[in-house]
Amino acid sequence: MLLGIAILQVPIRIIDLNGTLWSLPDFIVHLLGIIGGYEYYRRKGSIKYAVIYIIAVYCIGATSIFITSNIINYHTLFGLITSTPVTDFTMKNNKGEDVSFQFRGKILVVDCWYEKCGVCFREFPNFQKICNRYLSNKDVECISMNIPYSKDEDDPRQMIRKNGYTFPVFVLPDKDVRKRLNIDRFPVILVFNRASELIYRGNLEGAKLILKYCI
């Protein structure tokens, strides 16, 4: 039955290749845990220890996937990084004007994305929820930062508004700034403290924890 479930998922994973790159390791961990637990039960006859085995495999596997993903995608172990001062730079606002990256006194959450990133668009509803949650909190600012890779891309602000999202959209065309911030995987969430120092680079779930303990 487990093999049948795995086979049924193959077409879906081929169609949604980007999503597969994120979910396949987790699926494999679940599968190995269940198969191993079943084999343990079949040989030893103990449901209790079979369940413990499954939980242990999942916890070890999930932790390994989390750390490996952070190292590969965000160049960190857990997303947290040593507070890094960020020199002032400019971005383009919704009018196409150059504006200074200056949010001192606030905790800033930045969702970095680009036009061809399907995973980025699937994360937007969750980012919008974060924005809505802290909308009335004057200590927190949430913005979206588009990373353009070609001149013929659609207007990122129109794409966001067309999909019904309300968070502010800025554009960061400066490649040197992207390199300094290590923005080379998407989606990536950056969190800056009240002194405009970069303190987190990782996924949205980790950013939620940072906000929970920073405010």
For 52-102, the DSSP string reads HHHHHHHHHHHHHHHHHHHHHHHSSSSSEEEEEE----EEE-TTS-EEE--
Evaluate if residue 58 carries a pLDDT over 70: yes
Greater confidence, 44 or 47? 47
Evaluate if residue 14 carries a pLDDT over 50: no
Domain count, the chain: 2
Query: Which neighbouring-strand residues pair with 143?
Result: 110
What pLDDT does 127 receive? 97
Token pair belonging to 47: 């449901």
- If asked whether residues 68 and 87 sit together in one domain, one would say no
Cα torsion 73, 135, 129, 213: sign: positive
Mean pLDDT for 122-126 is 95
Over the stretch 132-186, which tens digit does the pLDDT of each residue have?
Answer: 999 999 899 999 999 998 777 788 888 899 999 999 999 998 888 888 888 888 8
Nearest to 130 by CA among 215, 206, 213, 204: 204
Mean pLDDT across the chain: 77
The strand order across the sheet containing 90-92 reads 80-85, 197-202, 188-192, 107-113, 140-146, 169-171, 90-92, 98-100
Cα separation of 211 and 215, whole Å? 6
Q: Which domain holds residue 150?
A: 80-214
Evaluate if residue 12 carries a pLDDT over 50: no
- If asked whether residues 170 and 93 sit together in one domain, one would say yes
- If asked whether residues 93 and 114 sit together in one domain, one would say yes
Percent of the chain with pLDDT over 90: 23
- If asked whether residues 66 and 97 sit together in one domain, one would say no
Mean pLDDT for 97-114 is 86
Greater confidence, 14 or 92? 92
Evaluate if residue 107 carries a pLDDT over 80: yes
Under 8 Å between Cβ of 65 and 73: no
